[in-house]
Structure 1
Amino acid sequence: MIKWFSLGFWELIARIVLRNRILMLSIIVVITGLLALQWKNIHFTFTEANLLPDDNIVNIEYNAFLNKFGEEGNMVIIGVKDDAIFTPKAYASWSKMMNTLKGDKAVDLVVSLNDLKKLQKNDSLQTFELVTFVDQSKTVDPAYLQKIKKELFNDLPFYEGLLFNKRSGSIRSAVYMDKKIVNTAARKDFVLDKLVPAVETFEKETGIDLRVSGMPYIRTLNAKTITDEISIFIGASLLVTSLLFFFFFRSFRATLISMIIVIIGVMWSFGFLGLLNYEITVLTALVPSLIIVIGIPNCIFLTNKYHQEYKIHHNKAKALQRVTTKVGMATLMTNLTTAIGFATFVASNNQLLLEFGVVTSINIMALFFLCIIVIPIFHSYIPAPKERHIEHLDRNYVKVFMDWILRNVKYNRFSIYVVSIILLVISIVGIYEMRISGSLIEDMPKKEAFFEDIVFFEKEFDGVMPLEIMIDTKRKKGVMKLSTLRRMDELEKTIDEIPELSKPISIVNLVKYSKQAYYNGNPDYYDLPSSQEQSFILSYAKNATKNSKDNLMKSYVDSTGQFARITTFMRDENGDNIAKIEAEIRKKADKIFPPDQYKVTITGKALVFQKGTGYLLDNLLSSLAFAFFLTALLIGFMFRSFKMVLVSIIPNLLPLMLTAGIMGFLDIPLKPSTILVFGIAFGLSVDDTVRFLSQYREELKKNNWKIRKSVYATFTDAGLSMFYTSIVLFFGFSVFMLSSFGGTIALGGLISLTLLFGMLSNLMLLPALVLTLNKTLANEQDFIEPKIDIIEPSDAEIDDLEKNK
């Protein structure tokens, strides 16, 4: 029979492992060594997470923009709000810092007060010249610097919003990095080894506090924080789980081997990352800690079973063999359901989530084989458990807790259902309060100095998140037509009126500045030329842009003159409003630019991220549905009972609903980090369901289908392991709340909360449903020889099999 084949298979596995201990350990050492060789392939990602598939129209449009204008997020900004900057000492230090940065090979262009250029008309050449704004020889004179300040703020509207805020008096410099290195390791070298030391030197020399931001800077420090936290998570996970393990079992040796197993699992996780050539992202950085948190429950389950067996007959060899024989398949299935929970991310059609799902699922199954091999071998070498090691099986506080649950299940099932329904209704109300966040930097560490700098620039210059508009005139040199410039100017006025956006930058600014220069720098003429003025002013402007390395506008018109670019910046706090802002710009653009003459594309990192969040949310329900389907398929395959499938799904659906409701009430938005909670939590929570139902089915056979007695026996056996593993998972995921990242904090806290709800649901609602439906679920016909016998065989069955062999 298949049942006996299954039983015989795991009995065979137990014999092979225990009789070939040196060989088994040698194989593990070899595998660990081979995977360690792959560590050299590990590298951190230098690009932002793209949550959209490559063939999505938003990605296609964004890549088309990059092909025309190159990387958009290449500007680092250094700002200051202190009048002391216009004193000789501070100005000299500022100039030295900017010249140092300008001379670095990673920098393409620096626009700063110390070498600021202004347009000046040259009638003889019929062009505009870029002349030096500041006479460096006079900067030792405080009066001259104050004169420069006044002229900058009053006579150069071209630089308003770009280099200064006229209202508050703050100024900044723009450092444009070479677009070719923005997404490479050279970006990190420049920011950490050149930029940061230069800023620190200035602050030390002057006592003036500088603010630094911009996407290259933000991304570099954000990545550094992530890599720094990997070791913190691993250390904290090991500490918390080891303390809990020792608290439960009071055995240094058992705790030590559990730590060794998960450490090997962590080594393997890094090895698989290198082997698959996956980058370390904000998600894959969590994998090593996840392996620790998920691996310890395996160790607890197997160790607890070993202690239970040893307590019965005090035969160490028999107890070790029966650990594998009795719970081998059940442990495999619980690990498989966890792996399924993570594997559902593969269905999201997103590379970031696909890599996270693949590497986590592989490591969970690898960890199962580690545990099933190493734990019996280790305990075979050490002395049998002493009385203090198995005292946890009869601890009073656990017994009181389990007895309280059992009383409620037996006598207060109606109350359990009422409370469950009330919680469900409250959860639904909370779900309607949930919101979606499209913020690109909401999850970034708010306690870090660079986040405070982001807030500064959002207040002073209306944000640092770029929003791009690309205009295709459908003909070469169409951008410099006055009709096109006027349309662009009209669109820019609409953008300027949107309070969430900064003053836009485009070729229009240069043309306006050209008219001002033509009229000898009079700021009253900062405007587009009229039809009468266009012929000579535009010719001057075109001549001024030829072969000019320091031309700020060279990135705003492509080489053919067919494509133009309008750049604006957005406060990150308005990430939730991106869709509304996009619709407003789109409505105006469609009105201004005839579709037969122009094509207008709205794109940029902020928009791509927001669209990605929406896409991820749309796929959440399908991914969860897929997880439910796979779990139902597994349960149905195991038990061949549709009613059992329903009983297994309901207790795991309620915790997810409760968590979603709490997110709504606490205003925790749906975003990439919190969306992951549901898939991970479901995969872990359903383990307890499989474990409980497996044990319950076996107890029914033992107890001649007596429901109450079987449920009580299930609590005595599986309930304790469920309690232990849930506590470990709760505190294990809580370590992620040590993170500086809001998303990681939310991920850890919400998963911990969901797993706590899941434990109570599986210990109370699940058995209550089983007892209520006992007339059908306890029918032996519902359990006719399933395809796979995953439950624990009885002692008599094992003894008979051993005698026959």
Structure 2
Amino acid sequence: MVDHPLLVTLFILLLSGIAMLGYTMPEQVRDWFKPAPPQQVQQGPAAPPKKQERPPDVDPISLTDADTILVIDSNQFFTTDGVKALRAIVEEIEALDYVKSVFWLDDIPNLNIFGLREPLVPNERASQKRLDAAREKTINHPLVGGQLLSVDGKTLLLMIKFDWLYVLDDEACTTGLKEVAKKVTAEYPDVKFSFMTTGRVPIYLTAVRTHNANKVKYQVIGYGMILLMAIILFRGISAVIIVALAPMFGVFLTMGIIQFFDFQDNPFNDVVLPVLLSLVGLTDGVHLMVQIRKHRASGLSGRDAARRGIQEVGLACFLTSVTTAIGFGSLSLAHHDTVREFGYSCVIGVLLTFIAVVTVIPLACRTWLGRSIHKGYGKGIIDRHLGRISVIIDLVLKKTKLISSLGISLTAVLILISLTLRPDERRANMLPEGSEAASALNHMDQAMGGLEHSRVRVYWNDQIASDSPEVLIAISEVDDLLNQESLIGHPISIRNILAALPGDGPPEERMSMMDLLPPPLKRAFYTPEYRQAEVSFHVQDLGIAKYGPTFTRIEEGLNAIAAQHPQFRFELTGSAVWRWRNLYQIVVDLAASLGSAAIIILIVLAIAFRSLRLGLISIIPNMFPLAVTGAFLVFTGQALEIVSVCAFTVCLGIAVDDTIHFLTRFREEQLLVDSDEEAIRRAFTGVGTALIMTTVILVAGFSTVVFSDMRDQRIFAIMSGLTIASALFGDLVFLPALLAQYAKRSQVPAMEESEAAIDQPAEETLVRD
């Protein structure tokens, strides 16, 4: 890396060219490597498909199919001006060229068995008495109360679908609709309406908009904080520039090359990955630069100082990159696509950042930039006060048995506390707190029983006629079961609709009235051709773990109903149910990621240091920071989420770096001195400055994201900062005690050859080693 600058420069240019292809033409490059489509093999004539009865060409009504939901709050829906304003709002919105349809109270099909038009909302000429009666009737309507109108009559929903061919900008789908509604309402000064938008489009747009804003803002703030802290700690601008060049180049390479894998739209990749790689690259860069500055200050040339720096910390940097890549790579075991892609991207990024560090920094040190990198060496805050911090080592070495036992027991206790973490997931966590989308989600929970819908599907075999009363009986039992649960909001099925028809009687009579229903209404929850029906219900965004007992009771109840109706099958389904079923997978993914990463890192360290004992000793300082962070989550009432799985694994990859640098220096010092305690002291003196500097810089970098309005990003930053800070404590307190207690020369078989070399001159020993 130092002796062949021309080859290194050409290699850097080659990597830069590959990255530029990723930025400019990734699709074309991906097409080059796509396998050719398989040739079609001619087969004999296919068997004619079995005829199946199909439902008629009817468009059933849907209470959930909307791109955007306009939420209107008011006590004046059923007043003369309120009715006028509502119809004017709907008319103006439907007139927009990009709006395909608006579904609201006036679009509810008739339940009048004679087919006479009887609108739920009277015209504006109706008396107030009639309007009040219409309000009660509307709230009690099975398709309206708790579905399109809250049971208190104060929240009304307009379900809006778009013609995407005419949608010209994102704001039209949210702000544009509200502006139209506000403009119409302004014509009725006595009417007080307030508007919010929610639904899949507003939620998605809010998440993307905030993500893009944070991507730029927090990278700029984070890099600025890192640069400022580096200048303060290094006390030399040229050293800071050289150290900063390496992670910048690593991020440039990574963000270009991951485009070939189509990972660039991952939310963690856009915001977290650049900052994370910058910090990882900065860690190795600081360790390397500290050594180079020391040798430059001792009088060596830029070339020789870079050579010695690579020789002394190059292996440690390589090991930290490998172990960090292993930690990140373990995320590939996760079942969540976002987590897996983030893991793959981190592995690519860590390896490219290591290449950037060991190529850019030595090369830059040979240029005019490297002439003054030693200026300010020994004058930094940490350099000047390192001697005072060294009393920690003296204290630790006096109480090795006590401190090592304390480290082991404390780590074990914190791990046990961390094991009490329970998985959970909320949709609002992906949205900035205080945003309209998050407020609308909360409002929908309170007013409508939740925005999200799930359902129970009811199937029956061909031994049951589709108009059999037993179908209605089974559906009614499911409906009764759901109504027993307080967290289940407003179940609706064909039973509710039939109950709203005039008259009363047993299921045989009610089922015979099915043909009186309008086809769009009848087939909204009932498809006799497919022998299935469904009961739909609302789910609040309270955290899916809270629904665990509820869904468990519902499934048990469905099994009991199925036992009474052997010709029927019942299925609890929906996005909320799917998330609940797969919630345990978060724990499985975390256990698989941390477990596999810890085992592989242990093996790598044992091989690298030729000592299983040192590999086992490294477990405590590596697991201690993770245990501290896990206990912190427990004590602060946090749950185990997808972002936590990513943060834990990332933290393991970063926390092991300091341990590796300390162990590497300890093994080198054991070759030069007879006393293990002296080797520990010299290891601390040798790497202490770099360890503290990197910790301060890393914590400062992550701390900037703590002020993000995205909860997931804040959690990730807090966990990372806490882990890195506690990792420094573990490496400066517990690791020296463990080494002094359990890694004595007589206990390390791999050191026998090294002990024999102690009698040789120091320089000869270093060369041979």
Same fold, TM-score > 0.5, yes or no:
yes
Rounded to whole Å, the distance in 2 between the matches of 1:714 and 1:186 is 66
- Partner residue of 2:304 out of 306, 314, 318: 318
Alpha carbons of 1:779 and 1:756: their partners in 2 closer, same or farther (altered >3 Å)?
A: same
Match of 1:702 among 672, 675, 691: 672
Mapped contact 2:83–2:121 kept (Cα < 8 A): no
Q: In the TM superposition, what is the alpha-carbon distance from 1:295 to its structure 2 partner? A: 2.1
Q: 1:706-785 residue pairs with structure 2 within 5 A?
A: 706-776=675-745, 779=748, 781-782=750-751, 784=753
Contact 1:426 1:661 in 2 (8 A): no
Q: 1:652: how far off?
A: 1.1
Give the aligned partner of residue 673 of structure 1.
643
Residues 489 and 693 (structure 1 numbering): CA distance in 2 closer, same or farther, change over 3 Å? same
Name the structure 2 match of 1:250.
235
Matched, 1:457 2:444: yes
Matching residue of 2:317:
331
Query: Among 153, 156, 160, which residue is 1:172 paired with?
Result: 156
- What corresponds to 1:79 in structure 2? 71
Q: CA deviation at 1:73?
A: 6.4
Partner-residue secondary structure (3-state), 2:148: coil
Alignment of 1:662 onto 2:648: no
Question: d(CA) in 2 for partners of 1:280 and 1:73?
Answer: 28
Cα deviation for residue 476 of structure 1 reads: 9.9
Further displaced range: 682-691 or 155-164: 155-164
Tell me if structure 2 keeps the 8 A contact 1:345–1:357.
yes
Matched, 1:161 2:140: no
**Equivalents in 2 of 1:717, 1:393: separation in Å?**
15
Contact 1:474 1:597 in 2 (8 A): yes
Q: Hey, what does 2:514 align to over in structure 1? A: 538
CA shift digits 1:222-279 (9 cap, x unpaired): 2332232221232122112111111111233333344444333333333233210226
**2:368 is the alignment partner of 1:382:** yes
Q: Distance in 2 between matches of 1:239 and 1:641?
A: 41
Q: Matches of residues 416-435 of structure 1 in structure 2 within 5 Å? A: 416-417=403-404, 419-420=406-407, 423-424=410-411, 427=414, 430-431=417-418, 433-435=420-422
How far apart are the structure 2 equivalents of 1:671 and 1:353?
11
Compute the displacement of 1:583 (Å). Answer: 1.6
> Quick one: distance in 2 between partners of 1:401 and 1:478?
87
Closer, same or farther: CA 152–416 of 1 in aligned 2, 3 Å = same
Q: Kindly indicate whether the alpha-carbon contact (under 8 Å) linking 1:504 and 1:568 is maintained by their aligned counterparts in 2.
A: yes
Unaligned 5+ segments in structure 2 are: 30-58, 187-191, 756-760
Cα distance, 1:316–1:157 mapped onto 2, change above 3 Å: closer
Deviation, 1:697, is 0.8
1:625 aligned partner, one-letter code = G
Residue identity matched to 2:372 = P
Assess, with a 3 A threshold, how the Cα gap between structure 1 residues 334 and 433 changes in structure 2: closer, same or farther. Answer: closer
CA drift of 1:103 comes to 6.0
The two structures have a TM-score, normalised by structure 2, of: 0.85
Q: How many residues align structurally?
A: 725
Question: Structure 1, residues 13-34: CA drift from partner, whole Å, max 9, x if none?
Answer: 3212x34464344334323322
Q: 1:58 corresponds to which residue?
A: none
Kept in 2: contact 1:462–1:501 (CA 8 A): yes
Letter in 2 for 1:264: F
Asked if 2 retains the 8 angstrom alpha-carbon contact of 1:101 and 1:195, the reply is no
Q: Once structures 1 and 2 are overlaid, which stretch shifts more, 416-425 or 629-638?
A: 416-425
Once the 2 structures are TM-superposed, how far is the Cα of residue 86 of structure 1 from its aligned partner? 4.1
Residues 299-329 of structure 1 deviation map (CA, whole Å, 9 limit, x = unaligned):
2122212111212234222112222233222
Match in the other structure for 1:632: 602
Matched, 1:192 2:184: no
Contact residue 621 and residue 731 of structure 2 kept, 8 A = yes
Which of 358, 365, 370 is residue 372 of structure 1 equivalent to?
358
Per-residue deviation at 1:709? 2.0
Equivalent of residue 213 in structure 2, options 220, 224, 228: 228
In the alignment, which of 14, 31, 35 is matched to residue 2 of structure 2? 14
Match of 2:659 among 675, 689, 708: 689
Cα pair distance change 1:421/1:479, threshold 3 Å: farther
SS in 2 for 1:441: helix
Distance 1:25 1:389, change over 3 A: farther
Instruction: Note if contact 1:79-1:170 (Cα within 8 Å) is conserved in structure 2.
Output: no
TM-score (norm: length of structure 1): 0.82
Alpha carbons of structure 1 residues 151 and 665: separation in structure 2 relative to 1, 3 Å: closer
2:86 is matched with which residue: 94, 105, 108?
A: 94
In 2, the alpha carbon distance for the partners of 1:89 and 1:257 equals 70
- Residue of structure 1 equivalent to 2:484: 497
Q: CA deviation at 1:72?
A: 10
CA contact (8 A) 1:726 1:756 kept: yes
Q: C-alpha distance in 2, partners of 1:289/1:643?
A: 34
> CA offset at residue 107 of structure 1?
6.4
Query: In 2 relative to 1, CA 156–264 (structure 1 residues): closer, same or farther, beyond 3 Å?
Result: same
**CA positional deviation for 1:671:** 1.6
Question: Would you say the 8 A contact 1:299–1:375 is kept in 2?
Answer: yes
Judge which range, 232-241 or 431-440, deviates more.
431-440
Q: SS at 1:531's partner residue?
A: helix
C-alpha deviation, 1:567, in angstroms: 1.5
Partner of 1:120: helix, strand, or coil? coil
- The one-letter amino acid of 2:450's match is G
Instruction: Confirm whether residue 413 of structure 1 aligns to residue 400 of structure 2.
Output: yes
> Partners of 1:357 and 1:331 in 2: how far apart?
20
Encode CA deviations 1:394-438: one digit per residue, 9 max, x unaligned: 846641453132122222324423543563465256336533324
Flag the 1:424–1:231 CA change in 2: closer, same or farther, 3 A. Answer: same
Deviation of 1:502 (Å): 0.4
Correspondence for 1:522: none
Q: What's the offset of the Cα at 1:531? A: 2.1
2 CA distance for matches of 1:258 and 1:794?
30
Q: What displacement does 1:443 show? A: 5.0
Could you say what secondary structure the match of 1:283 adopts? helix
Three-state SS of the structure 1 residue aligned to 2:197 is strand
Q: Name the SS of the counterpart of 2:458 in structure 1.
A: strand
Question: Secondary structure in 1 aligned to 2:414?
Answer: helix
SS at match of 1:163: coil
Alignment CA distance shift 1:734-1:611 (3 Å): farther
Q: Which amino acid in the other structure matches residue 31 of structure 1?
A: I
Task: Report the Cα distance in structure 1 between the residues aligned to 2:693 and 2:11, rounded to whole angstroms.
Answer: 28
The aligned counterpart of 1:508 is 495
Question: Aligned equivalents of 1:630 and 1:187: distance in 2?
Answer: 54
Return the offset for 1:582. Answer: 1.4
- CA distance 1:493–1:219, change in 2 (3 Å): farther
- The 5 A counterparts of 1:333-348 are 333-348=319-334
- What corresponds to 1:581 in structure 2? 550
Structure 2 Cα separation of the partners of residues 646 and 315 of structure 1: 40
Q: Which residue type is aligned with residue 81 of structure 1?
A: D
Amino acid at match of 2:508: S
Asked if 2 retains the 8 angstrom alpha-carbon contact of 1:691 and 1:718, the reply is: yes
Structure 1: tracts of 5 or more residues without a match: 1-12, 43-67, 123-127, 520-524, 546-550, 787-792
Residue 360 of structure 1: how far off its partner (Å):
0.9
What CA RMSD, in Å, does the superposition of the two structures yield over aligned residues? 3.5
1:363–1:664 CA distance, 2 compared to 1 (3 A): same
1:169-228 Cα deviation digits (max 9, x unpaired):
2232241648xx9xxx98997863234311133235446322332344323322332232
Query: How far, CA to CA, are the matches of 2:700 and 2:133 in structure 1?
Result: 60
1:426-458 deviations in Å (ceiling 9; x for gaps): 525633653332434345322212211111111
User: Equivalent residue of 2:492, what SS?
Assistant: coil
Q: Distance in 1 between the 2:167 and 2:276 partners?
A: 28
CA distance in 2, matches of 1:381, 1:388: 16
- Pick the aligned partner of 1:437 from 407, 416, 424: 424
Using the aligned pairs only, state the percent identity.
18
